[in-house]
A and B are shown apart, each in its own frame.
Chain A
Amino acid sequence: MSAQAPAVPATSRRRLPPSVTRNLGLVIAFLVICLIGYLTAGARFASIDNTMTILRLAAIIGVVSIGQCFVITSGGIDLSVGSMLGLATVWATTGATQYYADSTTWLLMVFVALAVGVVGGILNGVMVAYGKIVPFMATLALLVAAKGLAEWIANRQTQIIKVRGFEQFFSNDPLGIPVLVWIFALVAAGGWVLYNRTTFGRRTIAIGGNVEATRLAGIKTDRHIVMLYALSGLTVGIAAVMMMGRTMAGTSTHGSLYEMDAIAAVVVGGTLLRGGRGTIFGTVIGVLIFTTLTNIFTQNNLPLSVQQIAKGAIIIAAVLLQQYIASRKTA
């Protein structure tokens, strides 16, 4: 029977695999934005220095967006990432200044930040999977609570990090690329492999496509949902470490509104908000589109307000495009 089936070469019309064609429009949009940057700001925009500035700007929000991409693919959402990031920096730096100071290894600080992120994520996951609370509300609750906890711990003060080794590590730029960008690249690459090549990614996509069918197929969906939010929390912890490395400070205002930027980047990147379909590559491009735009506005001395309006317009355009493609597919 299967011999009759025209095997692989049946799709001669399209040579490119769907993962590429789906992202093609996005890449073109990104290149158009870069072109606009070059036309308006010239060599100032196109320099290597400026490219690194853009990438450094993209790195922290980018790491958070990778975690968010997994959660959104599963049909969920994580609104707590911004204030959890702030909490993680506060917790880690408070410990650093009060208990282990600059005499002990700064790895402990890193560990605390990661642990805060992961524990927060597990909390989200348990609320969603076992408490059956809708993700929007569960993570909104943690957004509010984490913010309060961070302010309480820090007593509304900024903790300055005076750990020499930490500072040195983050001021490195191996091969001319800042450490922050290296970390983003590693997280993005790891995220891509996890998403596209592993059973973890496959479960995530299946849950987003149809959680009931996935459960009835014998997959432990509740446990996986906890792990998804824990993963998002882990990226928050990594981003918190990066934030401390960049600013040498911990404060509850770190990461403020990052949840919005991350969700926007993921959705503009082509991941469906209803779940079941997503792309790590698109998410990275989505982050780059927004940060490049910010950079172009700064280069041209345009006010922040104009920039916000442009961001809003891009989000609407991307969602309209998604809906158009979806409607063509079902017609």
Chain B
Amino acid sequence: MVTDDHQGAPLLTASGVVKHFPGAKALDGVDLDVYPGEVHCLLGQNGAGKSTLIKVLAGAHRPDAGVITWQGQEVSFPTPVAALRAGIATMYQELDVVDGLTVAENIFLGNEVSVGGFIQRTSAHARTREVLQRLGHANIAPGTEVESLSAAGKQVVSMARALSHDAKLIIMDEPSAVLDSEEVANLFRVVRDLVANGIAVIYISHRLEEIRQIGDRLTVLKDGKTVASGLRVSDTTTSQVVAMMTGHEGTLDFPPRTAEVSDEVVLSVRDLALDGVFRDVSFDVHAGEIVGLAGLVGSGRSEILETVYGARRATSGEVRVSGVPVGRGNVAASVAKGMGFCPEERKSQGLLLDESVTRNITLSIFARLARLGFVDDAAELGIAREQVGRLGIVPARPEREARTLSGGNQQKILLGRWLAHGTRVLFLDEPTRGVDVGARAEAYQLIRELAATGVAIVIVSSELEEVVGLADRVLVISDGRVVHAAPAAEIDEHQILDLIVEGTPA
């Protein structure tokens, strides 16, 4: 019945694909069919098998069982290059472009236009221009060094490379994760253009609203199995999708605000400025209050958080915790005064990936637990167990390396670190980024519970729904200024968007 709106045969089919890894079954019977000229969304929680599946399709992994056909022929790609030759190009999450090379050199990397070993730069540049034109990015010069491009620009280069191979299928693994909303709109335009030319796209994203905007059909994976294959997006509701992904009727509802915000001002920021980034930032956070900073990527929202915390040194202004001033640009002093920070980049800024959950949780307090400079392993393990239990970290094994846990559980490790520390002011930068839908509700619940215990919380999120749903008060940030402040109950997402747009210079 799905084939009704598709002319001809499927481009790619996979049936009963199985892939084992030592100690784990990553794929356990996956079915998928992709037709030319469609955007096929691949959905699933972290660990559902999406990454493994695309690696199998891209020739990076060989399946243990199952059949894959490509243009009607049964195939088995021994290497990624073989898949690429056949016409399957993959854009991985971590963009695989080489910073030191130019746009043209990147696009023809491994496929150089050469005569007798000499690169034919003129013809390479001409072909690059042609491909970029097709992608609607004629503004990018072929000779530009990729390093100087934004994340969105690098993505275009990655896509251009796929096109230069005459790809018939492009797999995009969370392409929107590194983009702000304006760039996402541009990405969608390019994707629509590609499918209009008969190219098929497999699109992976955690943001369900994107699926609705760009997807034609969707396939849902759960625990390495296909739970729904090739459903039409227009016939499927978001709650159905969430239900399929989580295995229960999921809701993105936010827990009700229960606790009363006290009058006690815990964090007070006055006239804070960072040259060239933001200025005139003043706000108070009360005990038990959640303040949300809403703004686009680049508005200065994350920088404000980092500067208040002392990770960046403010040019001017003052930060006080319970009335006591905190030295500028001094994280250690901030932490000693009771501040805690869960950064956006959990892996590069938050965690010691090779260390145990215990050592990650006690990173801010092991010195406090130590006696005469000697660490107290038993006390640390006790505290780690307590946090693992309280936050429901899975697996509940404090000795596990942080690397082996899912995104949501890694976020909980960071929360546990600050809970163990007895933090009174907590900064959360994109707390649910990379956290799957099912785990989000739990994260929201935890954040609310934390506030209820009297912790003052400041949260930054790209998702306006999250800011409005979670915060008690919203500060709208645009172009490095606080353009509006209001109780969350008196403002909605549309108003915030309008404010952001008004505040942004044309």
Contacts and interface: CB of A to CB of B under 8 A. Distances in A.
Nearest to B342: A216
Contact of A210 (B332, B352, B398): B352
Contacts of A4: 396
A217 B390 contact: no
Given A10-B397, A199-B373, A217 B417 contact: yes
Contacts of A277: 354
Nearest to B337: A218
A112 B225 CA distance: 70
B389 A217 contact: no
A216 B341 contact: yes
Contacts of B351: 210, 213
A213 B354 contact: no
A199 B388 contact: no
A1 B389 contact: yes
A202 B389 contact: no
A72 to B, nearest CB: 15
A50 B353 CA distance: 45
A190 to B, nearest CB: 13
A213 B403 CA distance: 14
Contacts of B350: 213, 216
A136 B354 CA distance: 24
A219 B375 contact: no
A148 interface: no
Interface string B134-145: 000000000000
A220 interface: yes
A218 B397 contact: no
B331 interface: yes
A215 interface: yes
B227 to A, nearest CB: 27
B354 A276 contact: yes
Contacts of A203: 367
Interface residues of A, number: 29
A23 B100 CA distance: 40
Contacts of A276: 352, 354-355
B196 interface: no
A222 to B, nearest CB: 10
Given A2-B389, A209-B353, A217 B363 contact: yes
B375 A202 contact: yes
Nearest to A1: B389
A218 B352 contact: no
A228 to B, nearest CB: 15
B375 A197 contact: yes
B334 interface: yes
Contacts of B341: 216
Nearest to A223: B332
A206 interface: yes
Interface in A118-175: none
B331 A216 contact: yes
Contacts of A210: 348-349, 351-353
B370 interface: yes
B374 interface: yes
A202 B354 CA distance: 14
B228 to A, nearest CB: 31
A218 B389 CA distance: 24
B22 interface: yes
B352 A216 contact: no
A36 B335 CA distance: 56
Interface string A205-245: 11001101111111110000000000000000000000000
- Counting chain A CB atoms within 10 Å of each CB, the highest count among B309, B331, B343 belongs to B331
Contacts of A219: 332, 363-364, 367
A211 to B, nearest CB: 10
Contact of B373 (A200, A209, A212): A200
Contact of A206 (B332, B352, B373, B390): B352
Contact of B370 (A1, A199, A209): A199
Given A199-B366, A202-B375, A218 B334 contact: yes
Interface string A47-82: 000000000000000000000000000000000000
B66 interface: no
A331 interface: yes
B364 A218 contact: yes
Given A5-B397, A199-B367, A218 B331 contact: yes
Contacts of B367: 199, 202-203, 219
B386 interface: yes
A198 interface: yes
Contact of B388 (A5, A198, A200, A214): A5
Nearest to A197: B374
B374 A198 contact: yes
Contact of A218 (B336, B353, B386, B388): B336
Nearest to A328: B22
A6 B398 CA distance: 10
Contact of A209 (B352, B396, B417): B352
A1 B353 contact: no
A2 B386 contact: yes
B366 A202 contact: yes
A276 B366 CA distance: 17
B440 interface: no
B311 interface: yes
A198 B373 CA distance: 5
B433 interface: no
A209 B349 CA distance: 11
Contact of A215 (B331, B355, B392): B331
Interface in A168-203: 197-203
B286 interface: no
A310 B91 CA distance: 45
Contacts of B348: 210, 212-213
B279 interface: no
Given A2-B386, A212-B348, A218-B334, A206 B363 contact: yes
B385 interface: yes
22 contacts: A1-B390, A1-B396, A2-B386, A2-B388, A5-B398, A10-B397, A198-B370, A198-B375, A199-B367, A209-B353, A210-B352, A213-B348, A213-B349, A215-B311, A216-B309, A216-B331, A217-B335, A217-B364, A218-B336, A219-B363, A219-B364, A219-B367
Given A199-B367, A218-B364, 10 more contacts: A2-B386, A5-B385, A202-B366, A202-B367, A209-B355, A210-B351, A213-B351, A217-B417, A218-B336, A277-B354
Interface of A: 1-2, 4-6, 10, 197-203, 205-206, 209-210, 212-220, 276-277, 331
Q: Please name the 8 residue pairs, one residue from A and one from B, whose CB atoms are nearest each other, closest first.
A: A218-B335, A2-B389, A1-B389, A5-B396, A209-B352, A217-B363, A217-B364, A199-B367
